[in-house]
């Protein structure tokens, strides 16, 4: 476990002074009273603040609505689940016997927030900002998240402009390697489908296909 924790610190780009904070961040509430819920509560606020500040400073031409939309998609469960996957948290999170080793997308997203809370307690705003910049903004994850939201927004804007009704219907499906989602998008008389690891991913997939029809 010690080697895995060192690897996690490497992926975070942060070395804990108090490693017990990181260990606590990985403990799901099913383990017992010593769990990560309070760290998750703290990390959620820290993440929102740091992302808000970054967007405010870098998006000088963005209005309030645009900044809010970007922050929402950068901190939602879909994005945090992808962060969790890149950090290998599924193999590190500790769960109680009642869950029989099962982890959900929400659980993994919550662990990411708990880790951010742990980093904040250990290293303050500077440490948390460094970690969030590395796990969220380095590479293509943030760009992918914003693009995902853009497709959904584009369908809404087109439908509003044309005064055409649109509707998403999502289904959760089982697969050998876990669950996935399927989305059906109807715009007027047109229908497209998409799949993804979360509802938003499936909706974005369907929206991207739909926009190819609406704006060829």
Residue 100 has pLDDT above 80, yes or no: no
In a 3-state reduction of DSSP, which class is residue 63?
Answer: coil
> What pLDDT is recorded for position 175?
66
Together in a domain, 57 and 84 = yes
Residue 137 has pLDDT above 80, yes or no: yes
Cα–Cα nearest to 167, from 157, 155, 176: 155
Q: Check 113, 122, 129, 192 and give the catalytic one.
A: 113
Together in a domain, 84 and 157 = no
Residue 101 has pLDDT above 70, yes or no: no
Q: For the CA atoms of 149, 150, 156, 157, what is the dihedral angle to 10 degrees?
A: 150
Cα–Cα nearest to 91, from 161, 4, 24, 11: 4
Together in a domain, 64 and 80 = yes
CATH of the domain at 201: 3.30.160.20
Q: Which residue has the tokens 């996935």?
A: 180
201 part of the active site:
no
- Neighbour count for residue 20 (Cβ, 10 Å): 10
Residue where a domain terminates, one of 82, 111, 138:
138
Q: How many domains does the chain have?
A: 2
> What pLDDT is recorded for position 153?
87
Cα–Cα nearest to 127, from 17, 202, 36: 17
pLDDT, mean over the chain = 91
Cα–Cα nearest to 195, from 183, 186, 208: 183
- 179 beta partners: 174
Segment 122-130 shows an average pLDDT of 97
113 part of the active site:
yes
178 phi/psi in degrees, rounded to 5? 125, -165
Contact 111, 89 (CB under 8 A): yes
Tens digit of each residue's pLDDT (9 = 90 or more) over 157-190: 899 999 999 999 999 887 666 678 999 999 999 9
Token duo for residue 17: 């002074």
Cα 156 vs. chain centroid, distance in angstroms?
A: 22
Tens digit of each residue's pLDDT (9 = 90 or more) over 20-55: 999 999 999 888 889 999 999 999 999 999 999 999
Q: Check 44, 122, 129, 201 and give the catalytic one.
A: 44
189 phi/psi in degrees, rounded to 5? -95, 0
Which domain covers residue 193, as residue numbers? 146-214
- In angstroms, the CA 15 to CA 175 distance is 37
């Amino acid at each position: 476990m010690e080697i895995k924790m060192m690897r996690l610190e490497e992926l975070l780009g942060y070395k804990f002074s108090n490693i017990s904070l990181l260990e606590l961040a990985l403990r799901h509430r099913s383990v017992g009273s010593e769990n990560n819920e309070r760290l998750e509560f703290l990390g959620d606020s820290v993440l929102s603040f740091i992302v808000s500040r970054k967007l405010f400073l870098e998006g000088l031409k963005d209005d309030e609505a645009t900044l809010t939309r970007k922050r929402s998609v950068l901190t939602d469960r879909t994005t945090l689940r992808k962060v969790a996957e890149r950090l290998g948290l599924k193999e590190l999170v500790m769960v109680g016997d009642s869950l029989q080793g099962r982890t959900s997308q929400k659980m993994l997203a919550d662990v990411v927030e708990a880790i951010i809370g742990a980093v904040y307690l250990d290293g303050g705003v500077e440490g948390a900002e460094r970690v969030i910049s590395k796990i969220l903004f380095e590479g293509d994850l943030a760009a992918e998240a914003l693009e995902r939201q853009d497709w959904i927004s584009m369908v809404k804007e087109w439908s509003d402009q044309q005064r055409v009704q649109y509707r998403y219907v999502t289904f959760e499906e089982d697969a050998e390697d876990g669950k996935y989602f399927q989305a059906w998008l109807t715009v007027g008389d047109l229908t497209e489908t998409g799949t993804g690891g979360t509802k938003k991913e499936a909706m974005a997939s369907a929206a991207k296909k739909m926009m190819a029809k609406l704006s060829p």
